[in-house]
Structure 1
Amino acid sequence: MDFKTEVRDGMRIDWDVPIVMDDGLVLRADVFRPIAEGRYPVIMTYGPYGKGVAFQEGYKTSWEIMCRENPDAVSGTTNQYANWEVVDPEKWVPDGFVCLRVDSRGAGRSPGYLCHNNDREQQDYHDCIEWAAVQPWSTGKVGLNGISYYGANQWRAAATQPPHLAAICVWEGWHDNYRDGNRHGGILCSFRKNWQDMQVKTVQHGVGERGRKHPVTGELACGPETLSEEELVKNRENMAAQLLAHEWDGPYYRERSANLARVQVPLLSAANWGGHGLHLRGNLEGFVGAASTQKWLEAHGGSHWAPFYTDYGVNMQKKFFNYFLKGEQNGWDQEPRIRLQVRHPGEKFVERHETEWPLARTQWTHFYLNPHDMSLSRTPVQASGSVTYEALGEGVTFSTPPLTEPMELTGPSALKLFLSSSTVDADVFAVLRVFDPQGVEVVFQGALDPHSPISLGWLRASHRKLDAARSLPYRPFHSHDEKQALVPGQVVELDVEIWATCIVVPVGYRVALTLRGKDYEWDGPAASLSNMKHPMKGCGPFVHDDPEDRPVDVFGGQVTLHFGADQPASVLLPVIPQA
Structure 2
Amino acid sequence: MRIEWDVPVEMDDGVVLRADVFRPVTDGPVPVIMTYGPYAKGLPFERGYPSAWKAMARDHPDTVAGTSNTYQNWEVVDPEKWVPDGYACVRVDSRGTGRSPGRVDPFSPRETRDFHDCVEWAGTRDWSNGRVGLNGISYYAMNQWQVASLRPPHLAAICPWEGASDFYRDGSYQGGIRSTFWDNWYDMQVKTVQYGVGETGGRDPNTGLLICGDDLLDAAELAANRTDLGADIAAHPFYDSYHRDRSADWDAIDVPVLSCGNWGGQGLHLRGNVEGFVRAASGAKWLEMHGHAHWPLFYTDYGVDLQKRFFDRYLKDEANGWEDRPAVQLQVRHVDATFTERGEDAWPLPSTRWTKLHLDAAGSSLAAGAPDAAASAEFAALGDGAEFSTPPLTEETEITGPLAARLYVSSSTTDADLFLVVRVYSPTGDEVVFQGALDPHTPVAQGWLRASRRRLDPELSTAHRPYHLHDRAEPLEPGEVYALDIEILPTCLVVPAGYRIALQVRGRDYVYPGPSARLSNLKNDLTGCGPFLHNDDRDRVAGTYDGHTTVHTGGDHASYLLLPVIPGAE
Band of TM-score, shorter chain:
over 0.9
Alignment-derived partner of residue 521 in structure 2: 531
Output the CA distance in 2 between the equivalents of 1:399 and 1:226. 59
- After TM superposition, the structure 1 stretch with the greater mean CA deviation from structure 2, 472-481 or 386-395, is 386-395
Partner of 1:427: 417
| Cα distance in 1 for residues equivalent to 2:480 and 2:522 | 40
Counterpart of 2:277 in structure 1: which amino acid? F
1:53 and 2:43 equivalent?
A: yes
Residue 117 (structure 1) shift: 1.0
Structure 2 Cα separation of the partners of residues 144 and 27 of structure 1: 18
Alignment correspondent of 1:8:
none
Aligned equivalent of 2:76: 86
Contact 1:414 1:473 in 2 (8 A): yes
TM-score normalised by L of structure 1: 0.98
Residue 193 in structure 1 maps to residue 183 in structure 2: yes
Q: Is the 8 A contact 1:196 1:239 kept in 2?
A: yes
**Corresponding residue number in structure 2 for 1:95:** 85
- Which moved further from structure 2: 564-573 or 41-50? 564-573
- Which secondary structure state, in structure 1, belongs to the residue aligned with residue 304 of structure 2? helix
Which residue is 2:309 aligned to? 319
Alpha-carbon distance in structure 1 between the residues aligned to 2:177 and 2:240:
15
Q: Which of the numbers 56, 64, 70 marks the counterpart of 2:54?
A: 64
* Paired residue secondary structure (1:553): coil
1:36 is displaced (CA, Å) by 2.1
1:221 maps to 211
Partner of 1:14: 4
Q: 2:40, 2:112 → 1: CA distance?
A: 18
Aligned-residue offset at 1:565: 2.1
Matched, 1:574 2:547: no
Equivalent residue, structure 1, for 2:138 = 148
Runs ≥4 in structure 1, deviation > 2 angstroms?
none
Q: What CA distance in whole angstroms lies between the structure 1 residues aligned with 2:202 and 2:546?
A: 43
Aligned to 2:447: 457
Equivalent residue for 2:395?
A: 405
Deviating more after overlay: 408-417 vs 547-556? 547-556
Q: Residue 335 of structure 1: CA displacement? A: 1.6
**In 1, are the aligned partners of 2:361 and 2:375 still within 8 Å (CA)?**
yes
Residue 482 of structure 1 deviates from its aligned partner by 1.4
The CA distance in 2 between the partners of 1:532 and 1:387, in whole Å, is 36
Q: Is it true that 1:77 corresponds to 2:72 in the alignment?
A: no
1:5 match: none
1:471 to 461, 472, 488: 461
Measure, in 2, the Cα distance between the counterparts of 1:385 and 1:534: 38
Q: How far off its partner does 1:384 sit? A: 0.9
In 1, Cα distance between equivalents of 2:553 and 2:120: 58
Give the 5 Å matches for 1:247-396: 247-396=237-386
Query: Are the equivalent residues in 1 in contact too, given 2:24–2:86 (CA < 8 A)?
Result: yes
Instruction: Tell whether the 8 Å contact from 1:368 to 1:569 is kept in structure 2 after alignment.
Output: yes
Shift of 1:210: 1.8
Match of 1:27 in 2: 17
Q: Output the CA distance in 2 between the equivalents of 1:554 and 1:212.
A: 46
Cα distance in 2 for residues equivalent to 1:412 and 1:552 = 33
Tell me if 1:506 matches 2:490: no
Contact 1:49 1:103 in 2 (8 A): yes
Return the letter of the residue paired with 1:443: V
**Counterpart pick for 1:232 among 216, 222, 242:** 222
- In structure 2, distance between residues paired with 1:201 and 1:382: 57
Distance, in Å, in 2 between the alignment partners of 1:213 and 1:578 is 56
CA distance in 2 between counterparts of 1:564 and 1:449 reads 36
Separation (CA, whole Å) in 2 of partners of 1:516 and 1:553: 18
Match of 2:193 in 1: 203
Q: Distance in 2 between matches of 1:91 and 1:446?
A: 26
Percent identical: 57
Deviation at 1:337, TM superposition (A): 1.1
CA positional deviation for 1:214: 0.7
Q: Once the 2 structures are TM-superposed, how far is the Cα of residue 67 of structure 1 from its aligned partner?
A: 0.4
Query: Alpha-carbon deviations, 1:76-122, whole Å to 9, x = none?
Result: 00001011000000000000100000000111100111001111111
- Structure 2 distance, partners of 1:253, 1:442, is 35
SS at structure 2 position matched to 1:285: helix
Residues 420 and 503, structure 2, Cα contact 8 Å, conserved in 1: yes
Greater mean alpha carbon deviation, residues 259-268 or residues 388-397: 388-397
Shift of 1:491: 1.2
Post-superposition shift, 1:564? 2.2
Find the aligned partners of 2:10 and 2:318 in 1 and give their Cα distance: 33
> 1:36: which partner in 2?
26
CA shift at 1:561, angstroms? Answer: 1.1
Letter in 2 for 1:220: L
3-state SS of 1:499 partner: strand
CA distance in 1, matches of 2:8, 2:21: 11
Residue 167 (structure 2) aligned to one of 164, 177, 197: 177
- Contact in 2 for aligned 1:365/1:573 (Cα 8 Å): yes
User: What secondary structure is seen at the aligned counterpart in 2 of 1:410?
Assistant: strand
Corresponding residue pairs, total:
569
Tell me, yes or no, if the aligned pair for 1:115 and 1:237 is still in contact at 8 Å. yes
**Aligned-partner Cα distance in 2 for 1:231–1:509:** 58
Taking structure 2 as the reference length, the TM-score comes to: 0.99
What whole-Å deviation, never above 9, does each CA across 1:114-162 have from its counterpart, x for those lacking one? 0011111111111111111111111111100000100110011111101
Q: CA deviation at 1:209?
A: 1.9
5+ residue gaps, structure 1, are 1-10
Task: Render the CA deviation track for 1:373-414: whole Å, top value 9, x for unaligned.
Answer: 111000011101111011122211100100110111101111
**Cα distance between partner residues in 2 of 1:556 and 1:180:** 25
> What is the alpha-carbon distance in structure 1 between the residues aligned to residue 399 and residue 552 of structure 2?
26
1:103 and 1:109 in contact (8 A); partners too: yes
Note the C-alpha offset of 1:422.
Answer: 1.0
Q: Distance in 1 between matches of 2:170 and 2:317?
A: 34
Q: Which amino acid aligns with 2:541?
A: P
Confirm or deny: 8 A CA contact 1:209 1:223 kept in the other structure.
no
**Aligned Cα root-mean-square deviation (Å):** 0.7
Partner residue of 1:112? 102
* Counterpart residue type for residue 522 of structure 1: Y
1:431–1:457 contact (8 Å) kept in structure 2: yes
Q: Partner of 1:418 in structure 2?
A: 408
Letter in 2 for 1:504: V
In structure 1, C-alpha distance between the alignment counterparts of 2:51 and 2:249, rounded to whole Å: 36
- Which whole-Å CA distance do the structure 2 matches of 1:480 and 1:394 have between them? 25
The letter of the residue matching 1:135 is R
Cα distance in structure 2, aligned partners of 1:341 and 1:552: 43
CA-to-aligned-CA distance 1:502-553 (integer Å, 9 cap, x gap) = 0000010000110111000001111100000010100010010011001232
Q: Secondary structure at the match of 2:543?
A: helix
| Corresponding letter in the other structure for 1:494 | L
Alignment partners' CA distance in 1, 2:81 and 2:547: 55
More off after superposition, 545-554 vs 449-458: 545-554
Residue 551 (structure 1) aligned with residue 541 (structure 2):
yes
Q: Secondary structure at the match of 1:555?
A: coil
